Amino acid sequence: MLFKQYFIFYWVKILLIKVTISLLFFPPALNLLMGALVENNLSYRFFSGGLFLFCLEQCRMAIVDLNNYFIATQDYKNKHISFYFFVLCITIALEIIGFYWMYYYINIGATIILLSQLWFNSLAKIKISIVNQEVIIYPWTINKRIGELLGALLGIILIILWTLNIYPLTMGFLMLSMMIIFTTIKYAIPTLKKTLKKLSLSSSNK
């Protein structure tokens, strides 16, 4: 009976995390989408479009990372996981502050968000993954996060140049292009590979 109650409580907690994070990220995501669709300034529209995709990505990753953390704590409890959770919470808080700040100053809000990425990828020393319902905790040092750090630094450079009105249309287009390329590499290509693999297996079984 106690196990059943604990199990129900655990999944209610996970559900509440998903709903809460989604609700927190939804208003700024909608604001960025509207900026990408109706704003007169084309560079602003490009910029908003890129940040809209980034907002969706960060919302998803916040849910995934928190979910993986709470699953991992069922089996593991040590100082590395506790510190990871501290870094993760600060990162999500900074992201939310940054996205809401975009209602007033989109460049400052975007800078806060990208600084949160530098914070997370510099200090999070582990990576928690759930593979086939098994918790795997990898040592994930800064050397393995070079891509994320460089991406955040490049984003900050684009924001500074856009703010200084140095080729703003180009900077906005690069921001949007960077997010489209990132999304394609992370989601579209793996999904296409899985689909082709399933089709190949189904055709070979016939």
Domain locations in the chain? 11-205
Listed residue (155, 149, 162) closest to 177, CA to CA: 155
Listed residue (103, 23, 25, 20) closest to 59, CA to CA: 25
Say what the pLDDT of residue 2 is. Answer: 42
Q: Which segments of the chain are extended strands (E)?
A: 126-131, 134-139
| Of 204 and 12, the one with more pLDDT | 12
Per the rule left: phi > 0, alpha: psi between -120 and 50, beta: everything else, 133 is left
CB neighbour burial string for 93-130, b if at least 16 within 10 angstroms, e if fewer: ebbbebbbbbeeebeebbbbbbebbbebbebbebbbee
| Of 198 and 101, the one with more pLDDT | 101
**142 sits in which H/E element:** none
The yes-or-no verdict on residue 32 having pLDDT over 80 is: yes
Task: Identify the band that residue 10 occupies on the pLDDT scale cut at 50, 70 and 90.
Answer: low
- Asked if residue 84 lies in contact with residue 128, where contact means CB atoms within 8 angstroms, the answer is yes
- 46-90 pLDDT, tens per residue? 999 999 999 999 999 999 999 999 888 877 777 788 899 999 999
Say what the pLDDT of residue 202 is. Answer: 67
The yes-or-no verdict on residue 7 having pLDDT over 80 is: no
Question: For the chain, how many residues are written?
Answer: 206
